[in-house]
Structure 1
Amino acid sequence: MAKGRIIDAANTSRLGQALIELGSRIANSVGSLGELATEVPGLMLYRSTAPTAPNPCSYEPSLLVVAQGKKRVDLGRTNYVFGGSRLLLTTVELPVVSQVTVATERVPYLAFFLKLDLSTVRDILNMEEVHIPDASQGTRGMALGETTIEIVGACSRMVDLLNTPQDIPFFGKLLQREIVYRILQGRQGGLLKAIATLGDQSHRTAKAVAWLRGHYEKPLRVEHLATIAGMSRSALHHHFRSVTAMSPLQFQKQLRLYAARKRMLAGELDAASAAFEVGYQSASQFNREYKRFFGKPPMRDIEALRFIGNAAP
């Protein structure tokens, strides 16, 4: 028992040091900016010196490692609080509410966000010499996982590529593959495997999610959505809620509200025009649902967002 505790303490210490090193790389790269869209495909780096307001946004299939500080992400009624030894894995594009909860000027929030390439996931799954465990916990399209020294090390090496941009086309792809491999080897790897595996119920559900994301402004016909997923209507409802924590109708409503908010924030449309463009037939219904979801009427919310700026993902 004593030996086991010593080993655990040593691993914890090594992980802590690895996170410090990753945080230092992120801080040096981002500088005084709040975020940095890097030249490495899919890689974003974030920094915040104070907690942020809840920020409704969309998370793509991705890995989010918080090297310093803490983050909370709400998906439906489920919330995920993580940082340090806990990372966030997203396997389907989902509407969420994101919030930095722990950050100060002295100890800022520092995060590594990598969009995952599902074609890379499938390529690794098809390699006969690579064994990927089947075990996973649940089917939700978002889950907390263990931050390992191996994952943090690969993340640090990916950030290092920013110092040698000529190496990005070659090593960027290799490091994406390593990170995907490390995720697949972990306890939550089964979730990523299920989404990427053709014929799996999670993959079929992901097809329905993708269709809704591309056609949210159209009237929702669940029968048509079930046909796209290759499921019965009842099976679609069950698996859709399991993956997204929402019904298809709730999911569509959130997509419409996010899209309208984005268009108003860009200065393109007023509230009524945005409502009709995203599929609402009634401006008053849009105003009610917008206020219920975002906490303020449309134009008041947009004015507040323009004043405070966007929250860090």
Structure 2
Amino acid sequence: MLKQKAGTRSPDLTVVEMRRALAQRIKLLAEKPGEHPTAIPGLSLYHRTTPTPCFRASYEPGLSIFVQGRKRILLGGTEYLCDDSSFLLSSIDVPAQSQILEASEKTPLLSIFLRLDLPTVREVLSRDDIPESPPSTHRQGLVAGETTVGLIGAVMRMLELLDTPEDIPFLGALAHREILYRILRTPQAERLRAIATSGDLGQRTARAISWLRENYAKPLHMEDLASTARMGVSTLHHQFRALTAMSPLQYQKQLRLQTARQRMLMDGLDATTAAYEVGYESVSQFSREYSRFFGLPPIRDVKALKNSNTALVSVA
């Protein structure tokens, strides 16, 4: 298994102090455990106090910044380890596995999530004064990096807007652009640039991913999906697996199973209804694939989740 860590350099005192200040700021704004949406569009704060088992999580296009605690994310054969010096950039919708390794009442896991506005990313990238990113061999839709003084400062300025909500409509967009700029100045910029740049194969693959997320219950015909992505079937297969570590059919299956699980847990659907709702024609096939994917049959799995209050989906 490949492991990707945010960085290995010894941080200077300034950046360590800024990370601690950001952790204190998040804890003040998110005093209780859980997810805390804010008045800034797309920005949420997270406060977790207990380690978790490894569970399925969906990462939408966005930026997660960790300032306290430790978390592990698995995608395909790559393991991403995130601690108090890390950020995680998700450039496409990817289903992965997530596990909180270190969190407690005294030292909770604290993080923020900012949903990326891809039109804004493209606008920032169109500027002549944005440097080109060095080429990278990393192709998956997740990438981890080390937080910098500039990035932490930009995030602090965004959080300060929560003290003056009247400034958010004007300054919130500027703060978003500054954070994007800081990410584009890191070695991880190539992943964001690849998915946002018009004409790139990554963007075309993202178009196919978007179609699957919106139409997961429909039958999958690879020729039609490739036409949507404007590429050949074999090229789509290759690019899709490079970004998501799975085939389009496997991706659709995960979407169906995760959605069915959520509908049973949150909306009280029985397994048969959930199976048909997400596109299965055979309930027995649904049960077999559900058991292989989650480790338990549908009814037992949902009962265990309710008893343990394990979250189905997390973007923290």
Smaller-chain TM-score range? Answer: over 0.9
Asked if the contact 1:66/1:112 (under 8 Å) is kept, the reply is: yes
| Structure 1 residue 25 corresponds to structure 2 residue 37 | no
The AA in structure 1 aligned to 2:254 is Q
Divergent runs of 4+, >6 A: none
Give runs of aligned pairs for residues 123-202 of structure 1, distance below 5 A: 123-202=123-202
C-alpha RMSD of matched pairs (Å): 1.5
Q: Kindly tell me: are residues 167 and 310 of structure 1, through their superposed partners in 2, closer, same or farther at Cα, counting changes over 3 Å?
A: farther
Name 1:229's counterpart in structure 2.
Answer: 229
Local SS of the residue matching 2:12: helix
The AA in structure 2 aligned to 1:98 is S
* Deviation at residue 130 of structure 1 after TM alignment: 2.8
Local SS of the residue matching 2:267: coil
* Deviation at residue 112 of structure 1 after TM alignment: 1.0
Give runs of aligned pairs for residues 92-107 of structure 1, distance below 5 A: 92-107=92-107
User: C-alpha separation between the residues in 2 aligned to 1:79 and 1:130?
Assistant: 30
User: C-alpha separation between the residues in 1 aligned to 2:248 and 2:119?
Assistant: 26
Name 1:304's counterpart in structure 2.
Answer: 304
* Deviation at residue 275 of structure 1 after TM alignment: 0.6
Q: Kindly tell me: are residues 154 and 310 of structure 1, through their superposed partners in 2, closer, same or farther at Cα, counting changes over 3 Å?
A: farther
* Deviation at residue 310 of structure 1 after TM alignment: 4.0
Name 1:83's counterpart in structure 2.
Answer: 83
* Deviation at residue 134 of structure 1 after TM alignment: 4.3
User: C-alpha separation between the residues in 1 aligned to 2:77 and 2:255?
Assistant: 16
User: C-alpha separation between the residues in 2 aligned to 1:199 and 1:105?
Assistant: 47
Q: Kindly tell me: are residues 57 and 74 of structure 1, through their superposed partners in 2, closer, same or farther at Cα, counting changes over 3 Å?
A: same
Name 1:212's counterpart in structure 2.
Answer: 212
Residues 133-180 of structure 1: per-residue CA shift (max 9 Å, x gap): 243342211111121111111112212222221111122111110111
Residues 275-299 of structure 1: per-residue CA shift (max 9 Å, x gap): 1111111111111111211122112
User: C-alpha separation between the residues in 1 aligned to 2:24 and 2:12?
Assistant: 18
Q: Normalized against structure 2, the TM-score is what?
A: 0.92
Identity, in percent, stands at 49
User: C-alpha separation between the residues in 2 aligned to 1:295 and 1:277?
Assistant: 21
Asked if the contact 1:66/1:82 (under 8 Å) is kept, the reply is: yes
The AA in structure 1 aligned to 2:110 is L
Name 1:73's counterpart in structure 2.
Answer: 73
User: C-alpha separation between the residues in 2 aligned to 1:309 and 1:14?
Assistant: 39
Residues 13-35 of structure 1: per-residue CA shift (max 9 Å, x gap): 22221111111111111112311
Deviates more, 1:288-297 or 1:105-114: 288-297
Unmatched tracts of structure 1, length 5 or more: 1-7
Name 2:5's counterpart in structure 1.
Answer: none
The AA in structure 2 aligned to 1:100 is I
Q: Normalized against structure 1, the TM-score is what?
A: 0.93
The AA in structure 2 aligned to 1:136 is S
* Deviation at residue 78 of structure 1 after TM alignment: 2.4
Asked if the contact 1:112/1:155 (under 8 Å) is kept, the reply is: no
